[in-house]
Structure 1
């Protein structure tokens, strides 16, 4: 109706043309904000990328699974850099700088897992119904805060003070003996109180890491079609392994810079000096700032990505059908609902079999990650830093490749839950065969005076003192190995009976006049010397073969990780996926990553042939090991864990019972294929 005024559509008769005109006016192309127009057709729980009305078009580029995966991977990388890289690299430096013993630093290292175990069930349960991306924003903040707290002692403890350097030659000077005298009544310095600050930092980072691998992984599975889920999860997990590699390299390089370079630069001490403390704190500050930048992107993501509602509607449940279990979905948030849901998941036999199998795999993986450098160092005679580098070059790429490849295979083959379980059995079986690589890498020990052989027919085994060095008053607490020109290794230049040291033209140091080294014939610049600093080189040449086989061991070991995660997400009701990931991560740490290094460490220590004895006679770390026994111990542990893992996975294959609707869908697909063939 129009009468010298404006149109009033309320009085216009309805017509098809009018309806079409109205629909066209509301189409996305007619709105000023194209993304806003698209959102009109979205599910009510799906929103634009932004906060409130702040949703610029530029942010909508990331409002999809690929955009989320990008920031998820970045957070995984930074978390890995700090927790699994920098902390491990810096722990020995922190011991020296803040007068902490190995027991305390062990507690610090476990702080992350302790916090994770205490919180993962609650966060995964209550976060399932919440805004998962904003949980990850909070996780980013906590990881950044934890890293900042962890490096706080550097800024409050004052400058590092180191003592005088002592040359360990024969005879040891009286000042060194006086300094090495045990004083039982000596109290710890106030620096050791920083233990609580380091532990607090680890606990905070553990709280931040909990949502990442529970809610974050479940959000990926919710947002992509079923056949693509494994690819996204595999890429996310694979990228997370870059963190430890970057952390080790970055942290190792920074340890070559003096700790107080910004306050009191020093030129009279070098990284080779036992008193050296590197700038361990720099990377923590950088990572804290970088991780904090991820808070905003995660805060902008909507509760559900566009298309999630449609993807969920198209998915067919593959949850293990155990009678009424699948239907018993408790939807409340009370403590009673928490306990009932937990009981429901614990009664899911397929889930628990996968959890126990994954825990055994984690036990082996974390054990190898911790002690592979030690194995290479002792078997092949390389330095600790070089052994760690070789171990990282094998572990990190192998683990990443294994997880990504398995994710792609599961996606391309469109495997259902039962087929995924069979795939896990296959990869674990192949990895079990490759575990025998440790047997082909066995190398004999380098001759060690006083440990594996006597001093030229004098002295006894398991006794470093012999007639040739008894007058030297050598200190057992200073392990500075030297290699004699006779090919025998000695605990120190003092125990080799060397009375002097000279620096030759190339800057290296050699020890001369060594009474325990028989007939020294090596000479440089007319200087006849008897020993050189460092361990004797190993004659073992099987390192390339060992690294090659071990690389494939790691690849097939980690090829089970992504399929296991996908199978866990599929064998439980959709509403309980995040909580199932929480249960999975809890057992993974309690039965896997926490006891794994302890089990490997105890087993390796049982092969020790020379212990560190401090000035008070207390036993410390081990200096040398029996290489044959070490190799057999590692093979035994890994084989037992792998066999247990395979048994649990095979059990899951046989007891898994897909829901009726999934069986009907499979039958329809088979009928369709048959009709096409006919």
Structure 2
């Protein structure tokens, strides 16, 4: 007998399985529709391709709000509702905490139920969560812009003021508190986002995988992941564009505001519109997925030709009670998964990747804004480079697996290569744009670099000015140095044209530059931030960051495929739930909080009111970059080590009911006699890719 020829026993076994499929199809028709409403024209959409489209739209909505609108709006939310980056980091991570709470009930009961209905209800909950996140805009009073021209003679210049006239504003000087009602509303919204997204990314993955062949699964899941990655791209552009609209344009007359445009540091954009869009989209997209049957018509035919790559220690009999979904056997079922060393490898990989990816994604625009010394709106546009890279990475990973027909061993090798490449490219954070120089914060009034905590906005040149602690930077364009405000620069004269506001007669300029040098330089200050000329460093940073992200996300699809292949078919949804639980508990949740704390430690100047810290005004980009790079290197090294151990401990189940032959390398991929989606008659012509030997 030829090595790859099917025996009569194997042929009889496949025929028996196919006859069972035919009987099942006759007993139960799998139709698309709502209840008894199953029109014939609707059945043309009851295919795996349309399932992929609908699930992709649901994933798009989820990533649009969670991975784009929230990160883009973080800086605005901190300033509007007086929150620190630690608090916004908790809000970001609370989504993952909600997923952690919901994942086991959803996977245990949803796996035995109608996956489409679970996903549809979850998508509706996500829309409701976005609506809750929008509420703080409407229940709070309109944003109060600190006006400079409170009186005809006081327009923010250096002048003696009665300090009792600007005593602590109780409403606007509340310290950052975890009992802040707006903070709690965002937490509630993120809870609904998390509960709603849990069926989508646990049951949804299994829903796709069990309705297509093993050979096609990597490409389909990669396409779904790429569509998910497109959500943040669109969200970043839309979110950045919406920040150019004034926050309360629907409630106040913007023509009467003391603001020119979004370049004014006091400007706050319309953050809430993004949540409104996602709320409407989430509710609408919930209905199409509800129309799919619990299983597509071709699903069982694909399963009849699937091959067994389950790790030997996790192989169980089909009649084992741990596969029946009974809650009493849940601990035993979980233990059967966790004693699988290859599955544990996927968990470790996911944990340390998610610490970096979720932490960076949550604060991506904010980090790029600090590292590249740019504006929030421009940072949101530049952040799209990372999202495009993520989409390219998952597509590359899925296509690579399909082209080379990788099995578990080959996918572990691929993960090792991707992790090593991303580790090398992490050095991109050594490139930064020049930091913004603020006199009194990181430069003294004598033009000396400030080290440590010797910051002081008060100097001899402005000691008699009675300046308010209002953040309104002014820039000396000739040198790129900025002052906290015109008052702290000792300016007494204000000039205004159609585009900008300028200040002259600034006493602190002569102290900073010296009288002789000031005669040569421009003696005026422009209202707003200084434009930082980064040059080629910015583009090199973005290119390296792009390929670093591609390499990181390219390992995601093989890791997901390994997770689905090394556990029994009936335990896939539970395996996904266990995987997501560990990722949420040890990766995503601490990742967001860790990055929030790292960003706070890089703060040079806090906005303070009545002695309490509120939000950060100026960051140290050098300290921030080095901290992020150090954390990324540690996480990547652990991931590489875990991949090596996973490859060394992988022991495939060598017998698949007579449909597979014994592998020559028990640590490597299987040598199979039946290809995933080819008829048995073609199996003898199957040629193994050299990559898998």
Bucket of the pairwise TM-score, normalised by the shorter protein:
0.7 to 0.9
- Could you tell me which residue of structure 1 aligns to residue 236 of structure 2? 248
Distance in 1 between residues matched to 2:686 and 2:146, nearest whole Å = 85
Distance in 1 between residues matched to 2:161 and 2:532, nearest whole Å = 33
Whether contact under 8 Å (1:611, 1:620) holds in the other structure is no
- Could you tell me which residue of structure 2 aligns to residue 178 of structure 1? 165
2:516 is the counterpart of 1:533: no
2:405 is the counterpart of 1:414: yes
Whether contact under 8 Å (1:458, 1:467) holds in the other structure is no
- Could you tell me which residue of structure 2 aligns to residue 347 of structure 1? 339
SS at match of 2:255: coil
2:429 is the counterpart of 1:438: yes
SS at match of 1:294: helix
| Deviation of the 1:132 alpha carbon | 0.8
Distance in 1 between residues matched to 2:673 and 2:266, nearest whole Å = 70
Label 1:160 to 1:400 Cα distance change in 2 as closer, same or farther (>3 A): same
- Could you tell me which residue of structure 2 aligns to residue 491 of structure 1? 484
Distance in 2 between residues matched to 1:94 and 1:372, nearest whole Å = 15
Distance in 2 between residues matched to 1:48 and 1:638, nearest whole Å = 48
Aligned length in residues: 631
Distance in 1 between residues matched to 2:490 and 2:34, nearest whole Å = 73
| Deviation of the 1:326 alpha carbon | 7.0
Distance in 2 between residues matched to 1:539 and 1:40, nearest whole Å = 69
- Relative to structure 2, which stretch is displaced further, 481-490 or 183-192? 183-192
Alignment of 1:141-152 (within 5 A): 141-152=124-135
- Could you tell me which residue of structure 1 aligns to residue 394 of structure 2? 403
2:301 is the counterpart of 1:301: no
2:419 is the counterpart of 1:428: yes
- Relative to structure 2, which stretch is displaced further, 186-195 or 428-437? 186-195
Distance in 1 between residues matched to 2:555 and 2:107, nearest whole Å = 23
| Deviation of the 1:261 alpha carbon | 4.2
- Could you tell me which residue of structure 2 aligns to residue 482 of structure 1? 475
Distance in 2 between residues matched to 1:651 and 1:136, nearest whole Å = 35
Label 1:326 to 1:87 Cα distance change in 2 as closer, same or farther (>3 A): farther
Whether contact under 8 Å (1:258, 1:265) holds in the other structure is no
SS at match of 1:510: strand
Which residue of 438, 455, 458 corresponds with 2:445? 455
1:87-121 residue CA offsets vs partner (Å, 9 max, x unmatched): 33344544555566666554433332221110111
| Deviation of the 1:586 alpha carbon | 1.5
Label 1:536 to 1:521 Cα distance change in 2 as closer, same or farther (>3 A): farther
Whether contact under 8 Å (2:433, 2:538) holds in the other structure is no
Distance in 1 between residues matched to 2:596 and 2:405, nearest whole Å = 41
Alignment of 1:617-656 (within 5 A): 617-656=611-650
Label 1:114 to 1:284 Cα distance change in 2 as closer, same or farther (>3 A): same
Whether contact under 8 Å (1:150, 1:197) holds in the other structure is yes
- Relative to structure 2, which stretch is displaced further, 309-318 or 589-598? 589-598
2:546 is the counterpart of 1:556: no
- Relative to structure 2, which stretch is displaced further, 53-62 or 574-583? 53-62
1:196-226 residue CA offsets vs partner (Å, 9 max, x unmatched): 4433222122111000000001111101110
CA RMSD of aligned residues (A): 3.4
| Deviation of the 1:141 alpha carbon | 1.6
Whether contact under 8 Å (1:316, 1:661) holds in the other structure is no
- Relative to structure 2, which stretch is displaced further, 665-674 or 407-416? 665-674
Label 1:249 to 1:411 Cα distance change in 2 as closer, same or farther (>3 A): same
1:49-100 residue CA offsets vs partner (Å, 9 max, x unmatched): 1234422222112111100000000001111122222233344544555566
2:61 is the counterpart of 1:70: no
Distance in 1 between residues matched to 2:270 and 2:536, nearest whole Å = 36
SS at match of 1:470: coil
- Could you tell me which residue of structure 1 aligns to residue 678 of structure 2? none
Distance in 1 between residues matched to 2:295 and 2:686, nearest whole Å = 38
SS at match of 2:495: strand
SS at match of 2:503: strand
- Relative to structure 2, which stretch is displaced further, 530-539 or 303-312? 530-539
2:554 is the counterpart of 1:571: no
- Could you tell me which residue of structure 2 aligns to residue 597 of structure 1? 592
| Deviation of the 1:185 alpha carbon | 13
| Deviation of the 1:409 alpha carbon | 1.0
| TM-score, with length taken from structure 1 | 0.84
Higher relative contact order (CA 8 A, sep 6+): 2
- Could you tell me which residue of structure 2 aligns to residue 81 of structure 1? 64
- Could you tell me which residue of structure 1 aligns to residue 504 of structure 2? 512
Label 1:472 to 1:326 Cα distance change in 2 as closer, same or farther (>3 A): farther
| Deviation of the 1:402 alpha carbon | 0.3
Distance in 2 between residues matched to 1:565 and 1:189, nearest whole Å = 40
Whether contact under 8 Å (2:212, 2:302) holds in the other structure is yes
Distance in 1 between residues matched to 2:171 and 2:128, nearest whole Å = 39
Query: Unaligned regions of 5+ residues in structure 2, if any?
Result: 1-20, 150-154, 663-669, 675-682, 689-693
Whether contact under 8 Å (1:127, 1:135) holds in the other structure is yes
| Deviation of the 1:420 alpha carbon | 1.1
- Could you tell me which residue of structure 1 aligns to residue 39 of structure 2? 56
Whose Rg is larger?
1
Alignment of 1:84-233 (within 5 A): 84-95=67-78, 105-155=88-138, 157=139, 160=142, 162=144, 165-166=147-148, 169-171=156-158, 174=161, 178-181=165-168, 192-233=180-221
2:381 is the counterpart of 1:389: yes
Whether contact under 8 Å (1:484, 1:490) holds in the other structure is no
Label 1:251 to 1:96 Cα distance change in 2 as closer, same or farther (>3 A): same
Distance in 1 between residues matched to 2:234 and 2:448, nearest whole Å = 49
Whether contact under 8 Å (2:79, 2:615) holds in the other structure is no
SS at match of 1:312: helix
| Deviation of the 1:456 alpha carbon | 3.2
Label 1:333 to 1:486 Cα distance change in 2 as closer, same or farther (>3 A): closer
Whether contact under 8 Å (2:86, 2:597) holds in the other structure is no
Whether contact under 8 Å (1:355, 1:587) holds in the other structure is yes
- Could you tell me which residue of structure 1 aligns to residue 9 of structure 2? none
Label 1:137 to 1:298 Cα distance change in 2 as closer, same or farther (>3 A): same
Distance in 2 between residues matched to 1:477 and 1:376, nearest whole Å = 25
- Could you tell me which residue of structure 2 aligns to residue 334 of structure 1? 326
Whether contact under 8 Å (1:485, 1:530) holds in the other structure is no
Whether contact under 8 Å (1:159, 1:260) holds in the other structure is no
- Could you tell me which residue of structure 1 aligns to residue 283 of structure 2? 292
- Relative to structure 2, which stretch is displaced further, 114-123 or 624-633? 624-633
Distance in 1 between residues matched to 2:592 and 2:338, nearest whole Å = 26
1:5-44 residue CA offsets vs partner (Å, 9 max, x unmatched): xxxxxxxxxxxxxxxxxxxxxxxxxxxxxxxxx9998364
Distance in 2 between residues matched to 1:148 and 1:675, nearest whole Å = 54
Distance in 2 between residues matched to 1:384 and 1:539, nearest whole Å = 16
| TM-score, with length taken from structure 2 | 0.82
SS at match of 1:165: coil
Whether contact under 8 Å (2:247, 2:270) holds in the other structure is yes
| Deviation of the 1:321 alpha carbon | 0.7
Distance in 2 between residues matched to 1:458 and 1:653, nearest whole Å = 55
Distance in 1 between residues matched to 2:232 and 2:91, nearest whole Å = 18
Whether contact under 8 Å (1:227, 1:412) holds in the other structure is no
